[in-house]
Structure 1
Amino acid sequence: MSLRQFEYALAVAEEGSVTAAAELLRVAQPSVSQQIRGLERELGVELFARTPTGLVPTTVGRAFLREAQAAVNAARRARATARAGAEELVGELVVAVQMGFGTRQLPGALGALRRRFPRVEVTVFEETSSAELERLCRRGVLDLALMAACERSPADAHHLGDEEFVVVAAAGHRLFGADRVELRDLEGEPWVRFDRDSALDGVLLNVLRNNDPTPTTVARVSQTATAVRWAAHGLGATLVPASAVPHGYEHLVRPVSPVVSQPVIAVLRSNAGPAETALLELLRQETWFEAASPSASLDERAPAIELSHST
């Protein structure tokens, strides 16, 4: 097996056809077909099934492609490290972010990274589950993961700061009679919640467990921006990291008392290269909420509830 075969198989899976994969790779179509057939013969399995909509990976094919992607990523990193000069770095950086965390901090850090290493291509995707992020980190698929701390957080994780959680509701809501919402006042509130296996939904359940252990759910969503917009239209309240509130909705936000915060960590792949190391340092320089250093005076703030979930 060769990296070229891996890349051809990944292209076929992405494009759904040999012809489209050949165009993407800028090679002749027979070359792609030959490489895929050779790979299947060597493995002794069928990687793709023909369907009316195109080529689709088989169950075995999907498992193989996950490992092939990891191998291709590792090869790209190795090439980038070998080609890196004093001021030049070429390659790809794969970053996974747990949904809702680092929404404001990551773009600034990536912008600074781009200015420092203009030829580095960054791929960023969101993931809701800490367990899945931890699994991807362990398999070496990711260069850097930005996530909430949990029971499975690696011992060598880097603590960046904390995300403060806020309540969002429609204008004129009963919760907005004060500058800060008391947790006990949330009992009976209908909620716009997140996917059941997400870290954000775990935070809400932890916050409410003493006052409202069975919260009323009016809707479940997958994106923080959607939750904020639906709450703004009066569907129900939602609880999100303060940095995840989209521009224009700040007037519908109230912090909670006691303060609710979640530690945010970065996990680097083993033998991290210069690009991911630089991104970590840039993330450290971003402004993060610190429960011990609130924006208001200490006399005006209640003690913080720091959550470390097990999702």
Structure 2
Amino acid sequence: MPTLRALECLVAVLDAGSMTEAAAVLHMSQPALSHQLAALEREIGAPVVERLPRGVRATVVGRAVEADARAALAAADRVIGSGRATARGAGGQLRVACAESLTAGLLAPVLRTWIRRNPLVRLTLTEATSADALAEMVDSDRADVAVGPRPSHWAGSAETVGVEEVVAVLPPNHPLAEAKSLDFERLRDEPLVHYHADNGLAGWLDAEAARHGVPLSPVMRTRQASTAAQLAAAGLGIALIPTTGLVAGLPGVLRRLRPALRRELVCLIGNPSDPVVRRFAADVVKRGVPVPTALVARLE
């Protein structure tokens, strides 16, 4: 297959009508230019230029391939231009994955700012219910970057976004609502609004409770942390909710767990050398894990 350099040499010679002038335009020696043309002619199997006493001209074969050679060089220029534009945030596609519970509270503000600053970059968002599912998406090249809890197995690049606390949401009239904080022992035999098995929170909370020797007692299950909080506030039981899943105006009672229950949130990066991915990950890390002031006051 001919190289772009050989095609560039052919076009320069045809434009200049002279080997010497073409070599000067390309900033290369005349022997090097001749070598490139000879390689192209070997590849084609026929001469592409005719050497004359005063310059050169295209052969029939040379005229036949000239248009395609110019098109190939123009396409190569477009490749470089498109790549540079994408690296500057002026094009391309960025595939983002996120834990469902983090999309609204953590990621949405980053996406809003990113779209405003990089309007030509097309963003796609896929949500998942577990950290391992997010890791698998990045590992299988279905996402460029993923935001969520740290997965159980991940050997790639990751940036720590922050740590979020898991708190208890209780109905306002619940007997434990007067307590300043709760431990797992006080949750023993309490009806719990728990999570569906395909939500990573379910297994993680079960494991944390088991470490304290307390089995949880689900009264119902949901896939969404925000839904669990609303159901708990409505009187169906207690729910354990990451602070990123809480919304202002929630009518329930919020209580911290003792000892505090926290989980690390990370940004998984598929290709750390990609400048677009790096910039997006940096924006997520800069945003951190927000906790609304109103919620903090309700936890004190």
- Corresponding residue for 2:75? none
SS in 1 for 2:102: coil
- Which letter maps to 2:247? P
- Corresponding residue for 1:154? 155
- Please list every run of 5 or more consecutive structure 2 residues that lacks an aligned counterpart in the other structure: 1-78
Pick closer, same or farther for the CA change 1:269–1:101 going to 2, 3 Å.
same
Pairing 1:23-102 to 2, within 5 Å after superposition: 82=83, 84=85, 88-101=89-102
Q: Aligned-pair distance for 1:267?
A: 0.9
TM-score (structure 2 length as normaliser): 0.64
- Which letter maps to 1:151? S
- Corresponding residue for 1:262? 263
Pick closer, same or farther for the CA change 1:81–1:195 going to 2, 3 Å.
farther
CA distance in structure 2 between the aligned counterparts of 1:231 and 1:197, rounded to whole angstroms: 20
Deviation string, structure 1 residues 280-300 (Cα, Å, up to 9, x no partner):
11111114279xxxx89xxxx
RMSD of aligned residue pairs (Cα, Å): 2.8
CA distance in structure 2 between the aligned counterparts of 1:80 and 1:272, rounded to whole angstroms: 19
- Corresponding residue for 1:232? 233
CA distance in structure 2 between the aligned counterparts of 1:260 and 1:181, rounded to whole angstroms: 11
Q: Aligned-pair distance for 1:207?
A: 2.8
The answer to whether the 8 A contact 2:193-2:220 is kept is yes
Pairing 1:98-247 to 2, within 5 Å after superposition: 98-101=99-102, 103-211=104-212, 213-247=214-248
CA distance in structure 1 between the aligned counterparts of 2:94 and 2:187, rounded to whole angstroms: 42
CA distance in structure 1 between the aligned counterparts of 2:81 and 2:148, rounded to whole angstroms: 26
TM-score (structure 1 length as normaliser): 0.62
User: What is the percentage of aligned positions where both structures have the same residue?
Assistant: 25
Deviation string, structure 1 residues 161-190 (Cα, Å, up to 9, x no partner):
111101112112122213322232111111
CA distance in structure 1 between the aligned counterparts of 2:235 and 2:252, rounded to whole angstroms: 14
SS in 1 for 2:101: coil
- Which letter maps to 2:157? D
CA distance in structure 1 between the aligned counterparts of 2:224 and 2:80, rounded to whole angstroms: 35
Pick closer, same or farther for the CA change 1:281–1:81 going to 2, 3 Å.
farther
The answer to whether the 8 A contact 2:95-2:124 is kept is yes
CA distance in structure 1 between the aligned counterparts of 2:274 and 2:163, rounded to whole angstroms: 26
The answer to whether the 8 A contact 2:167-2:241 is kept is yes
The answer to whether the 8 A contact 1:148-1:199 is kept is no
Larger radius of gyration: 2
Deviation string, structure 1 residues 120-174 (Cα, Å, up to 9, x no partner):
2222121112332222211111011112113202342111111110111211212
CA distance in structure 2 between the aligned counterparts of 1:90 and 1:284, rounded to whole angstroms: 23
SS in 1 for 2:263: strand
Deviation string, structure 1 residues 92-136 (Cα, Å, up to 9, x no partner):
221111232364221121122122201222221211123322222
- Please list every run of 5 or more consecutive structure 1 residues that lacks an aligned counterpart in the other structure: 1-77, 302-311
| Higher alpha-carbon deviation: 115-124 or 94-103 | 94-103
The answer to whether the 8 A contact 1:162-1:289 is kept is no
Greater helix proportion: 2
CA distance in structure 2 between the aligned counterparts of 1:86 and 1:129, rounded to whole angstroms: 30
Q: Aligned-pair distance for 1:83?
A: 5.5
Q: Aligned-pair distance for 1:259?
A: 0.7
Pick closer, same or farther for the CA change 1:252–1:123 going to 2, 3 Å.
farther
- Corresponding residue for 1:253? 254
